[in-house]
């Protein structure tokens, strides 16, 4: 993998899990700078200081769809030029359709998909993006499969997938846009799902024959998709599902 020295990537959802791990990998192992975005200011501010490089933290709640463009305005004001974006912000509510919680479902759509559409708008209208920047959205394998009690989450990720396709089409020749569809990844979200499920370990063994994925493995795929090594790839989905779809 080529070095990312001198390059800057925005990570949305950087305060924990996949986003945090990706930020750590990009800075510590590949020499990049990062702009960390999430709600928890103290965590992203500390991480921006802890990771090597010239990093920056922006507090934002993606439930607020109206002001996402301000993130790009702030980058312009700070003279931060982005070589890529990782959209890893997300929530994963668990309930059956018979118990559908409309408000929670709307929030899930907003954070997991509609905010990404606003990120696309920001990118396509901003002067803070370097030509040939690469955008990676973290979707989910459940966007193309049916599981239990994940209708809101799965629908939001299916929506995200289509935004990835349209974003890639509208940005063609200028920026690349791809999605990763992970299976179960060992993160705070995974631990939360564990708490809300019965017979969790056995279900995981059955559903993910190759095991629960360490976040580091997702970070390496993110880095590949951000790098010039993937310069002919856009509008694509990459499964890392630990054998889930072979069930």
Ligand X SMILES: NC(=O)c1ccc[n+]([C@@H]2O[C@H](COP(=O)([O-])OP(=O)(O)OC[C@H]3O[C@@H](n4cnc5c(N)ncnc54)[C@H](OP(=O)(O)O)[C@@H]3O)[C@@H](O)[C@H]2O)c1
CA distance 148 to 142: 10
First-residue to last-residue Cα distance in the chain: 32
Q: Which of 56, 60, 153, 163 is catalytic?
A: 153
Task: Give the nearest distance from C-beta 26 to ligand X in angstroms.
Answer: 15
> Considering beta carbons, is residue 6 or 64 the nearer one to ligand X?
64
For residue 155, how many other CB atoms are within 10 A of its CB?
A: 17
Q: Is residue 153 annotated as part of the catalytic site, yes or no?
A: yes
State which residue, 74 or 232, has the beta carbon closest to ligand X. 74
* Residue 242 φ then ψ, to 5°: 60, 30
Give min distance, CB of 32 to ligand X, in A.
18
Write down the least CB distance from residue 74 to ligand X, Å. 15
- Buried-exposed string 188-199: b where 16+ CB fall within 10 A, e elsewhere: ebbeebeeeeee
Total residue length of the chain: 247
Angle at 127 between CA 124 and CA 131, to 5 degrees: 75
Nearest approach, Cβ of residue 19 and ligand X (Å): 5
Nearer to ligand X, 86 or 129 (CB): 86
In the complex with ligand X, which residue's Cβ is closer, 10 or 92? 92
| CB nearer to ligand X: pick between 150 and 227 | 150
Contact positions vs ligand X (CB under 6 A): 13-19, 38-40, 60-63, 88-92, 111-112, 138, 140, 182, 184-185, 187-190
Task: Give me the least distance between CB of 134 and ligand X, in Å please.
Answer: 17
Residues with a catalytic annotation lie at 153
């Amino acid at each position: 993998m080529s070095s990312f020295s001198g390059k800057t990537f925005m990570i949305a959802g950087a305060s924990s899990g996949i986003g945090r791990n990706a930020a750590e990998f990009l800075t510590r192992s590949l020499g990049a700078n990062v702009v960390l975005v999430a709600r928890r200011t103290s965590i992203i501010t500390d991480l921006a200081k802890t990771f090597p490089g010239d990093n920056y933290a922006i507090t934002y709640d993606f439930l607020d769809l109206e002001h996402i463009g301000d993130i790009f305005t702030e980058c312009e004001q700070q003279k931060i030029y982005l070589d890529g974006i990782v959209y890893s912000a997300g929530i994963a509510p668990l309930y059956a359709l018979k118990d559908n919680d409309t408000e929670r479902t709307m929030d899930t759509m907003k954070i997991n998909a509609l905010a990404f559409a606003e990120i696309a708008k920001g990118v396509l209208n901003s002067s803070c993006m370097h030509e040939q920047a690469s955008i990676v959205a973290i979707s989910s394998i459940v966007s193309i499969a049916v599981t239990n009690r994940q209708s809101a989450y799965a629908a939001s990720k299916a929506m995200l997938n289509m935004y990835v396709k349209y974003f890639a089409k509208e940005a063609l020749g200028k920026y690349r846009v791809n999605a990763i569809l992970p299976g179960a990844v060992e993160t705070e979200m995974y631990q939360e799902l564990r708490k809300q499920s019965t017979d969790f370990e056995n279900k995981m063994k059955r559903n993910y024959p190759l095991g629960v994925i360490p976040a580091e493995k997702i970070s390496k795929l993110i880095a590949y998709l951000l790098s010039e090594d993937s310069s002919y790839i856009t509008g694509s989905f990459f499964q890392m599902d630990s054998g889930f779809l072979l069930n």
